[in-house]
Each structure stands twice: as structure tokens, then as C-alpha cells.
Amino acid sequence: MDNKKNGIPKLRFPGFTGAWEQRKLGEVVKITMGQSPSSKNYTDNSSDYILVQGNADMKNGRVVPRVWTTQITRQAEKGDLILSVRAPVGDIGKTDYDVVIGRGVAAIKGNEYIFQILTKMNNSGYWTRFSTGSTFESINSSNIRNAQIMIPKDDEQTKIGHFLSRFDSLIALHQRKLEHLQEQKKGLLQKMFPKNGETVPEVRFPGFTDAWEQRKLGEVADIFDGTHQTPKYTDSGIKFVSVENIATLETEKYISQKAYESEYSNKQAEKGDVLMTRIGNIGTPKLIEKDEPLAYYVTLALLKPKNIDSNFLVWGISSPKVQRNIWKLTLHIAFPKKINLGEINQVSISIPSINEQKKIGDFFKQLDSLIALHQRKLDHLELMKKGLLQQMFV
């Protein structure tokens, strides 16, 4: 027997029995649809009223003040829930402030249980049924008020809400740890590579004192671009990557061994080489760490290092100074914007001794591994939360 069909959740706290009651959301909570104030009344004065217009005004499920207004239209009070009613429809957050709400959101006076059930509805794509096929993704007051939800007794609501709120706090803690590491990495990239006009970095490993040399990428790597033709894909064979695969170099696209040998005979990507995005998203590097054939599209450039540490090359390209050099040489009038191979060859990069290169490259590789570990932990917790929402609600 499917307990859920009988109004009973699969996972339940001891001591609670009986079926949950089906109700309309508008019957159990007060809902206020937003109304945007005139744009002429928008300000950047934090002493004015905080304006929440949509998902851009929330981060990690909390309102983050971004825009203010002198005009009060509709309001949400501290502790209210904020539901996005325009793309992305269904995102839910909380406000720790009294705020003015624009037409992109609705305010809901709900407890923690209501917040969690709205989170579950968003995760399951509940709201998409109302906006499918429409030009502009949105939901209206009727959609929200008539949404069917299952409600247990107050004490069970409190128990569920408290438990999941603590789980959310754990997720938020891991999110903050991850963001802190990412900010540390960003700061170190600024300090461990020389700034414009300087020959030594602000932060340096002990024992290194020599000035860094200014070189061109074309002097420290042989540079190629990928095939300019969209290949004929096969069900298996050689992996074919493009700009959208740069983060992991994982793909579901393949080409035949014959096509690979024909196109890449003189520019094969090998372990230790670096791929860099050059069309659309420009200047993102990725070290090739697997010893396997890899085909790549014209949106990527292949850099085969010579007399430079591969890890250092990745982080050197990622440094603010080199990123600015890449930006200056990018064709911004092209659509999509791009940087040609000739310009990539001319990109300036500062280079220390090979020993210092290895030290820096290994350091950032370890830092990236730590960030990836925290990301996996966060992903695991978020997956666990989704599983709990599925099992603890009807």
C-alpha cells in the first residue's frame, strides 16, 4: 500500500500517526502579491526601504539588500517568506528585514513547515506546470492560493520544521566555508603573481628572491586551436570537448578514431597540456590530467607547455594581470566575442624560476582540491536534503 496516497509520509517522527489533511495554500497562510514602486523612487540609500523585486535580491535563501526605494507599495515583514513569481519561478527565501516587495515576488506569512514544503514544491518543478508554453515564465495569485498542500497537526509541523531548519543551517555553514575558500583563492591569485609594472609578487614562498621574467604565451607554449568544423558524432570513441566542457573535460560527445587521426595528427592533446577557452567565455584554462586521447573544438585553444610548469601555467593564466591582458586582446565586437590564436601568442605572462613555478603550481592545485572536497560535501548535503523532503512530506 502506498502510504503517501493515504496522506501518510514515508519517513515520520515517532509518536505521530494519522493521515495529513489536504488544503489549499491560500487557506492556511496569508499571501501578499508584490507591486513595484515607480523606478524614479529607486535609491542606493540604505536608510530608505529595502526593495525586493526577484531572485537577484536573495542569496542562499535570504534577502540581501541591493536596491532601496522611498515609495511603499506592498510590504513583507521580518520573518516572512518570499516566493519568486517570475523566472526563476518558485525560488523561495526568507527576509530578515521589513521590505517593500515588487511584482516579481509574493510575501507569505508561513512557518518553517510552510517554507520547507514550498522548497519541496520548487525542487519537484511544481510551479512549471503553470508557465509551460508561455512567453514569459510567471505564476499568478490564483496559482499560488490554490496550490494543494498536505498539512499535519501543528506539533508535527513544528517538529518537521525545526529538524529541517537545523539541516539548512548545516548546509549554510558548509556554503560559507566553501565561499571563504573561494575568496581566499581569489585573493591569493592577486597576491602571489606580480601586479602590472612589478617584477615580484606581494606574497612569496621563503627562499625565492629573484625577479620574475616577462614572457609571451607563445614563447612558453606551442598553441593550437581545435577543429573549425562540427564533426560527425559517434556513440563511442574519442571524447570531443568544447567550451561548455572546460570545468571537467567530461562530455557525452565522441568522434571516431579515424576522424581524430585525420584532424589532430599534428596537435594532439596530451596529459600535461592546457586547454583554454577562446570563444564566448574567454580565458578559462584547464589542465589535462588524464592520459587519453581528447578531441577539441575551435572554441578551445591547446597550449603545449615548453620550459614552464603545467600547473603554474594554469594559475598564471588565471591571475588577474594575465586575465586583463587577455581581455585587452579580445575581439569584443565579434559575436560571440573571441580571441584569435595570434593574440593568444602575444598575451604577456610573468614567470619565476622553474622551482618557484612548481611550488606555486602545487600550492594552487592543493587549494583547488580542498575547494572541490568542500563542494562535494555541500552537494552531498543538498542531495540528502532533497531526499528528506521527498520522504518527510506527502
Q: How far is 294 from 115, CA to CA, in rounded Å?
A: 46
Is residue 88 packed enough to be buried (19+ CB in 10 Å), middle (13-18) or exposed (0-12)?
exposed
Q: For residue 129, what are the contacts with CB-CB under 8 A and spacing of at least 6?
A: none
Q: Give the alpha-carbon dihedral of 328, 333, 336, 338, to 10 degrees.
A: -30
Confidence (pLDDT) at 1: 47
Domains belonging to the chain, first-starting first, are: 18-136+143-151 (3.90.220.20), 154-201+353-394 (1.10.287.1120), 213-351 (3.90.220.20)
Q: How far is 393 from 85, CA to CA, in rounded Å?
A: 23
Confidence (pLDDT) at 10: 95
Neighbours of 347 (CB within 10 A): 21
Q: How far is 13 from 155, CA to CA, in rounded Å?
A: 11
Confidence (pLDDT) at 153: 97
Residue 227: DSSP 8-state: B
Cβ atoms of 107 and 34 closer than 8 Å: yes
Cβ atoms of 314 and 283 closer than 8 Å: no
Helix, strand, coil percent content, the chain, rounded in steps of 5: 40, 20, 40
User: Got the DSSP string for 47-113?
Assistant: TSEEEE-SGGGEETTEE---EEES--SEEE-TT-EEEE-BSSTT-EEE-SS-EEE-TTEEEEE--HH
Q: How far is 269 from 241, CA to CA, in rounded Å?
A: 11
Confidence (pLDDT) at 4: 66
> 10-residue block means of pLDDT along the chain (394 residues)?
77 96 98 98 98 94 96 98 94 97 98 98 92 75 97 98 97 97 97 95 97 98 96 97 97 97 95 98 97 97 97 98 97 95 98 98 97 98 97 96
